[in-house]
Amino acid sequence: MLIKPPVAIVMGSQSDWPTMRLAAETLEVLEVEYEARIVSAHRTPERLVEFATNARADGFKVIIAGAGGAAHLPGMIAAMTPLPVFGVPVKSKALNGQDSLLSIVQMPGGIPVGTLAIGEPGAINAALIAAAVLALSDDELADRLDAYRARQTASVPLFPADTE
Ligand code: RP5
């Protein structure tokens, strides 16, 4: 059996990809391998069960799951795997992602989903927290995470500039 990369990025729809690709791009910067796929809790429930029940045996270590609206995907995945699941509430058209956020964050005690911010910041931070989990047993990745933060710190100017 082909061993999967450490991170799975799953999303409920193609329409989530413009947000979730920020997670993918952040993992690429950190040189963390991932697999991205569309798994809908509502439209492809059998694909969801197949993915979530096999995720650990397939070799994934961490799952990033993004969804919008009635966003059941991260919670349903978490119900079917012991792997850490980080949920990204995708910004919905109707309610600006507040529906997504509340759907994902309000898990009952016992089945956790680590919930990030709505939209692109959440996607970026999901990648960073996934990398931080992997870095617990990967010193070279821990060094790359330190370097990422150092670059970010160095990029912040001391004085504000007029931009107009
Ligand atoms: C959810 O419904 C997806 O995660 C997406 O955010 C939302 C809308 O999906 P589309 O109608 O754009 O495919 O399942």
Q: Are 41 and 76 in contact (CB under 8 A)?
A: yes
Please give the DSSP secondary-structure letter assigned to residue 51. Answer: H
Partnered with residue 36 across adjacent β-strands are 9
Nearest protein CA to atom 2 of ligand 1, as residue: 68
Nearest protein CA to atom 14 of ligand 1, as residue: 12
pTM for this model (two decimals): 0.97
- Is 81 close to ligand 1, i.e. is its CB under 6 Å away? no
* 54 Cβ contact partners less than 8 Å away, ≥ 6 residues apart: none
Assigned CATH topology for domain 7-154: Rossmann fold (3.40.50)
What was the ipTM of the complex prediction? 0.97
The reported pLDDT for the residue numbered 29 is 98
Q: What is the dihedral of CA 153, 157, 162, 164, to 10 degrees?
A: -30
The reported pLDDT for the residue numbered 1 is 64
Atom of ligand 1 nearest to the CA of 43: 14
Atom of ligand 1 nearest to the CA of 12: 4
Q: What is the pLDDT of residues 96-135, one digit of tens each?
A: 999 999 999 999 999 999 999 999 999 999 999 999 999 9
Q: What is the pLDDT of residues 61-99, one digit of tens each?
A: 999 999 999 999 999 999 999 999 999 999 999 999 999
Task: List % helix, strand, coil for the chain (3-state, nearest 5).
Answer: 50, 15, 35
Q: What is the pLDDT of residues 24-50, one digit of tens each?
A: 999 999 999 999 999 999 999 999 999
Reading the block at residue 31, the tokens are 């040189």
Residue 162, judged by CB atoms within 10 A of its CB (0-12, 13-18, 19+), counts as exposed
